[in-house]
Amino acid sequence: MIVGALAALFFSTTFVLNRAMSLQGGHWFWTAALRYAWMIGFLCGGYLLLGGGRALVGVFRLFASHWLFWSFTGSIGFGVFYALLSFASAFAPGWMIATTWQTTILCTPLVLRLFGHRVPMRALVLTAVVFGGVVLVNLEHARQTSMGAVLLAALPVLVAAFAYPLGNQLLWEARAGNHRRLPRIVDPVLDDPFARVLLLSLGSLPLWLALAAFILPPPPTSGQVLNTALVALFSGVIATSLFLYARHLAVSPAQLAAADCTQALEVVFSLTGEVWLLGGTLPSTLGWSGLALTLVGLLLYLWAQR
């Protein structure tokens, strides 16, 4: 749980730094696209530095053999997910985005049902508890701004919360070979979690190129280039490594659920970071109630999955 809490701390930098870039006037497109450019660079560099040149060649070979699948899956699971998350950061504080983002844990059962898998009903019932907390947090934001700003922040995050597990499940279905419309991909390269991240990052590139051509965003600021590199390093590399290590340490379903529970601390760390580093204000009673309800619902949900 200590390692998982450290992972949550580094994951929370996404919400704080995205909000900082928004407040500095950086365009949301570069906040999203540059992160994955840095991720690809960090992962490729890591393979080469650690003597994994042959493994890196295997990653690119696998991408080339199923480029259409990786482009589709990466654009949904990484592209749509993070583009919407970055867009929302322009309209709400980071801790509110982090709280709303926790619904991604609850979207997983819906995605599983979409692919024909059975899901315990209690997992769906507990979504109402977490969603109630998310509603209270966004009502807090509505009191400070307007309902229009709330919709521009909350709706993209809710779609992103669905897109992320959808992309991951598409990859799982392809590995299992259970879906007739998806290619069956059986390759030892996929046993490496960082190879999977690199493949999905490469798959998101067509979306970033299409968005750049459609939006024609202004050039990124120097601060945006630096902050996206920090997000890629802290969240994409360090946090992911710590979280995977925490789950690897688990030797029982209860310990696995405990490791997953620690990710709810992203909300707490995001609020602390925003108040401390960006001069944000603490929530009112309504906001605290929403935070508490969201965290309790997440803990109950993860406990039920043991």
Q: Give the whole-number percent of the chain exceeding pLDDT 90.
A: 37
Give the mean model confidence (pLDDT) for residues 121-133.
Answer: 70
Contact between 73 and 198 (Cβ < 8 Å): no
Both tokens of 20, joined, read: 């900082």
Q: For the segment 174-189, what is each residue's pLDDT rounded down to a tens digit?
A: 988 877 888 999 899 9
Q: For the segment 182-222, what is each residue's pLDDT rounded down to a tens digit?
A: 899 989 998 888 898 899 999 999 999 999 999 999 999 88
Burial class (CB in 10 A: 0-12, 13-18, 19+), 291: buried
Apex CA 215: angle with CA 211 and CA 216, to 5°? 110
CB atoms within 10 A of CB 190: 17
pTM listed for this prediction = 0.86
- For residues 149 and 88, give the distance between their C-alpha atoms in angstroms, rounded to a whole number: 9
Q: For the segment 97-126, what is each residue's pLDDT rounded down to a tens digit?
A: 988 888 887 787 788 888 887 766 666 666
Q: For the segment 83-92, what is each residue's pLDDT rounded down to a tens digit?
A: 999 999 989 8
Give the pLDDT score at 117.
77
> Is residue 252 very low, low, confident or very high in pLDDT (cuts 50, 70, 90)?
low
Write down the domain spans for the chain. Answer: 2-304
> Is residue 79 very low, low, confident or very high in pLDDT (cuts 50, 70, 90)?
very high
- For residues 269 and 216, give the distance between their C-alpha atoms in angstroms, rounded to a whole number: 34
